[in-house]
Amino acid sequence: MENVMDPTKVTPETHKSVFENDRVRVVDISLKPGGKVPMHSHPQYIAVALAENCKVKFTSADGKEQQAEFKAGDMAWREAESHSAENIGSAECHVLNIELK
C-alpha cells in the first residue's frame, strides 16, 4: 500500500513492515499506553494480537468510535478501512497485521 495513508509512512515509529511479497504485507505494530496513531488506511487484513491486555479506541474516517480489547493469540478479520487509533489501556499493544494485496 503505497500512499500517504500508509501506516508505515504515517507513524513509522509504531508501524513497521516486516515482510512483503506480491500477495501480502505483514506490519508489526507496537503502541505504548496512551500512544496515538493519526488517521491511516489498511486494505483487507487479519490482525493477530501478540500482547496481553491490549485496549484500543479506533475512530473511523466518519468519526464513529469503537473500543476493542485483545489478548495474546486473538485474531480478527478486518475489511479495508481508514481509522485513527489510541491505546487506552495500561499495557503496550503489540499486533501483527497481515494485509492482503
The pLDDT tens digits for 39-78 are 999 999 999 999 999 999 999 999 999 999 999 999 999 9
CATH 3.40.190.10 describes domain 7-100: no
The pLDDT tens digits for 88-101 are 999 999 999 999 99
Report phi then psi at 10, rounded to 5.
Answer: -65, -45
pTM for the model stands at 0.91
Three cell numbers at 71? 489478548
Sequence ranges of the domains in the chain: 7-100
pLDDT category at 83 given cuts 50, 70, 90 is: very high
Beta-carbon contacts of 50 under 8 Å, excluding residues fewer than 6 positions away, are 72, 94, 95, 96
Query: What is the identity of the amino acid at 81?
Result: E
